[in-house]
Amino acid sequence: MRHWIFSCKKITRMISESMDRKLPLYKRMGIRFHLMMCALCRRYQQQLLFIRSVLRRNGGTDETSDQSLPADARERIEKKLTDEIKRES
């Protein structure tokens, strides 16, 4: 059985990560459980959702639009983020 009680620091990272990709069930359950008890993390999630909706409404992050970063820069950023996520898991 995986450990599913996480710190606020870990939860905030997982909330951000969950907006980009589907998390494993134990992480999703850990987030839900934590959010039931932690008002600050709930607020953080609400703020991220609000920022995301504002950017989408104003054309800031439309996944279907052409991206301005060169492909090699996007790959480097994605690799760095993936490595960081793996290191912290």
Q: Check residues 25 and 84 and name the one with the higher pLDDT.
A: 25
Q: What is the pLDDT of residue 50?
A: 93
What is the per-residue pLDDT for 1? 42
pLDDT above 60 for 88: yes
- Separation of alpha carbons 24 and 85, rounded Å: 13
Query: Which pLDDT tens digit goes with each residue over 24-78?
Result: 998 999 999 999 999 999 999 999 999 989 888 887 544 555 557 788 888 888 8
Closest CA to 78 of 17, 27, 26, 22: 17
Contact at 8 Å (CB) between 54 and 38? no
- Domain-by-domain residue ranges, the chain? 1-63
Helix (H) or strand (E) holding 27: helix 25-37
What's the rounded Cα separation, in Å, for the pair 20 and 48?
12
pTM: 0.61
